[in-house]
Structure 1
Amino acid sequence: MDANVTSPISIDAQQAQKQSAELTILGAGAWGTALASLVEKNNHTVCLWSRSSEMSLADAVQDAHVILSAVSMKGVPSVAAQLKELNIPPETIIVTATKGLDPETTRTPSQIFHDTFPDNPIVVLSGPNLSKEIDRGLPAATVAASSHPEAAEAVQYLFSSDTFRVYSSPDPLGAELGGTLKNVIAIAVGICEGLDLGSNARSALMTRALPEMIRIGTHLGGQAETFVGLSGLGDMLATCTSVLSRNYRVGYGLAQGKSLDQILEELGSTAEGVNTTNVLVQIANREGIPVPISRQVYHLLNGKITPQEAVEALMERDLKAEACLLT
């Protein structure tokens, strides 16, 4: 990460606040489009690119001060590889707004971009941000996290407005993992709601999910305090309590007896928690990390148990002291 800390950047916070900046967003889905709208409202120039665009990727990023990736997790490795061929200047800020884990390498998007562009500042944008609410102009907050503080500050000013508040953080991996892991929990909460288990069960599930997220996140290198902030607890609360959440709807549908294939077809878009659950359990097995909630979601997604059996398995675990968040 040392290269990220010392490399120059193409746009500073003062320019992002007072002058027009060139920004390219890769991924024209709901999230990428919402982010483009936020930047345009701040009078910056935005190029929104997708694989179906008539414009080439080379032309799309040619003059960009900032390149933001909002593609799905499965597209991140190929997009990073394509960008590498374009000789992106080392001062260009690369922002990742994708929440997921690569099934081939178990890496996060920021780790993939950092490995591909070790000389560029990498920023993670993550928080409780349901794109449909942002499109409606409803107030929201998020986190710009980077080991390069000037890059985080520049991104902070690019996106901040009277309806979108951006905080900075020095913990990109923690911010990214918080936004990634909560998708698994959202599936679990959707199951709880679909089975009509009540508010007590939902509250208990979400409360016990937080230490599970912290346990995984800190083991993988994130900072514990990040997971009780906007990109951890905040994102989990939004995703686990809104019918706008695709991952919540996956769990709810499973509890209603629908097949996973049927649910995903009805969604018509990616529910990153499905892939994340499978990769997470792979990591937990490899690293010896206890993940009781995530493991039951994994069994359910893979057809090994029913929703009712998943709940029973969690309720029948050995009794223990609550003690602290990390137990």
Structure 2
Amino acid sequence: MSGWVAARVRLVVLMARPALVLLLGSYACIGLAQHGNAQRLWLVAGALVVVVGYLLVSVVLNDLADAEVDRINLPGDRRRPLASGSAPADLVVVAVVGGVLALGAAAALGWRVLAVLLVGLLVGAAYSLPPLRLSKRGAVASLLLPLNVVGVPYLVGLLAGGGDVRRTDLVLLGGLYAAVIGRLLLKDFRDVRGDALLGKRTFLVRHGRVVTCRVSAALSVLGGGLLMAAVPDRTPALVGLYVVGLAAVVALLRRLSRTTSPRDDTVLVGAIAVVGRGLVAGLLAHLAMRPLGWTAWQQALTLLALGVLTAGLASDLLRHGPQVRGTAPAAPAEADEADESDEAARRTTR
């Protein structure tokens, strides 16, 4: 019995995608911090339960729908249970448990949070499952999936405290949305072979790597600009972090547009994801430090430390590449973060 329970716990952790939990949890905390609720621990805990449950349902739906693609792109990958031989029924149990937990926590946080969750689940189902299967609809998928990736957790956090949605909140959401679209477009580099074989007309398949990288760069810069316009009490340190980070993203995208190696694709996409996550962490840190009354120097040193850490992680990935498991190179965890409803609702954006 204990072995059965341990196996199910491992499956839940596997399906939750730790990098995605971190990413979507950050968006929820940004929403909470926007209205000064990041210090209310019960709200943080409730919002994270909603996000994790929502993530489990979305990932399971996508993995069930994309089992055939995964068997081509990721044969034997232990992070894709169906591609490595797990039973679909086990994944359904995970989705049901996650859905129940998410609905219960959302109801406790208020009807508006519950409404956001229900809309997100419906959109995730329409994205992954027939008859709509929006993941096969090219531009629609590229625009819809990031809205679920960012919008659901951010609005859950924003509304959990009971405040009203302000214009600056929507501008900040727009900045996060644009940046996520730019990064999610890059997920197709990993899956391009299976997508092309199975007729998935992703942005990369239709337009090629040069155009994809240029659009990703433009969206990343647009997203950063919107965030800096909307974030309250922005400091020179925060602006500097974003300027340097976005410059690094553009430089990495330039390299990605020219490479022809699948391994280099994986490494560069992973490094871009690391930088993106570092920028999100910097924004969250800024919003969390304001209500605590930290001095400008304390805030600047904290953001500098985050920037140095991000640069170190990205540089290490660029130097040493992804870890190798068995005989096949595994996509780095940093690359998984760009996912959701596709990987949350999965690895995304096809």
**Taking structure 2 as the reference length, what is the TM-score of the superposition?**
0.26
The answer to which structure, 1 or 2, has the higher relative contact order (CA under 8 A, 6+ apart) is 2
**Higher fraction of helix:** 2
**Taking structure 1 as the reference length, what is the TM-score of the superposition?**
0.27
